[in-house]
Amino acid sequence: MLHDSHGRTFEYLRLSITEICNFSCTYCLPDGYRKKPGPGFLQLDEIARLARAFADLGTWKIRITGGEPSVRRDFTKIIETLSQTPGVRRLATTTNGYRLKEHAQSWRTAGLQAINVSVDSFRPDIFHAVTGHDRLDEVKAGIEACLEADYEAVKVNAVLLKGINDNDLGAFLDFVRHRPVSMRFIELMRTGDNAEYFTRYHVPASVVSDALERDGWVRKTRTPGAGPAVEYIHGDYVGSIGLIAPYAKDFCKSCNRLRVSALGKLHLCLFAELGMDLRPLLQSDDQLDELKFFLGRSMHSKVVSHFLDDGVTGGNHRFADIGG
């Protein structure tokens, strides 16, 4: 098992397969995707070797991220490859949902077990304003298609934004009242490029947690391999609420996840200054032992916290660069 010098073990890998996204969300890619010079994104054989190395070291949960991962033409093949990797027991993805209605079933058949869909508002005008696309109805249809396809977990992500969706808690709760869906609220985080945006739109996650607790929601016990969300349940609701609060005390104490960018760089933290290049070790099956040794040794460089409270944003300029 991969472990660091702070007593944490890492069974969860967030694997980005592209930096491209066809949406232009105001908090992530406000100017849309812009191609950068340099090498292309990880290829299928490189992804397969990477997954095998992590799985051999005890990583059993992989989340495919982007950008928007489904823009890749070989996305379904990537799902098949990862789901068939010995040791991988949980395969998930995060998507903006634009291809979901048509592909929910085929991705499930290929081996995808869990899915997160980004919906920052259930008001069409706000959804359009945040994402740059008038596609709320088709995204919602995609969520319903996931429920029909019997995914093991369906989650909806919303980034909390002051004056935009922070007063929409009632609408979000209504969505999970009769659906087995986890509605997850993500506190806006500072990055290298969003200082002004952060100051204008940041809402403390405690605004949501306080409201939930006043209305009788209770915290759910954390499950093995779970991400950073604190889960809430309520007897009157089929679904649940998740809250990702990176500025909360001891947020990093339960960290169990590592990140690899679409360019093959290992990021020990979302806010690390630099990624460590794994790509030279992904070119041959004969490099597996060397790759695993490098991964194990790298864990000793993982710091105890992201230090967001100190204004540290690291080398992360946009979340699309390494998959959030």
Please state the rounded mean pLDDT for residues 233-254: 89
pLDDT band at 47 (very low <50, low <70, confident <90, very high): very high
Q: 27, 161 in Cβ contact below 8 A?
A: yes
* Residue carrying structure tokens 């032992």: 289
Number of H helices, E strands in the chain: 9, 12
Q: What is the pairing mode between strands 265-267 and 276-277? A: antiparallel
Give 258-298 pLDDT, tens digit per residue: 999 999 999 998 877 679 999 999 999 999 999 999 999 99
Say whether pLDDT at 92 is over 90: yes
Residues 6+ apart with CB under 8 A from 188: 27, 159, 160, 161, 198, 201, 202, 203
Residues 6+ apart with CB under 8 A from 10: 1, 2, 3, 4, 58, 59, 255, 256, 257, 258, 299
pLDDT for res 226: 72
pTM summary value: 0.93
pLDDT for res 311: 61
Say whether pLDDT at 312 is over 70: no
Q: Which of 114, 109, 107 is nearest to 76 (CA)?
A: 107
Cα three-residue angle 10-259-25, rounded to 5 degrees: 135
| Average pLDDT over all residues of the chain | 92
Give 177-226 pLDDT, tens digit per residue: 999 999 999 999 888 778 899 999 999 999 999 999 999 999 998 777 77
pLDDT for res 131: 97
pLDDT for res 39: 86
pLDDT for res 309: 63
C-alpha span between 58 and 162 (Å, rounded)? 40
Say whether pLDDT at 317 is over 60: no
User: Domain 12-321's class?
Assistant: alpha beta
Q: 121, 170 in Cβ contact below 8 A?
A: no
Cα three-residue angle 96-99-104, rounded to 5 degrees: 100
Q: Which residue has the higher pLDDT, 310 or 298?
A: 298
pLDDT for res 190: 86
Please state the rounded mean pLDDT for residues 77-105: 98
pLDDT for res 307: 64
Give 104-138 pLDDT, tens digit per residue: 999 999 999 999 999 999 999 999 999 999 999 99
Q: Where are the domains of the chain?
A: 12-321
Token pair recorded at residue 150:
């019997």
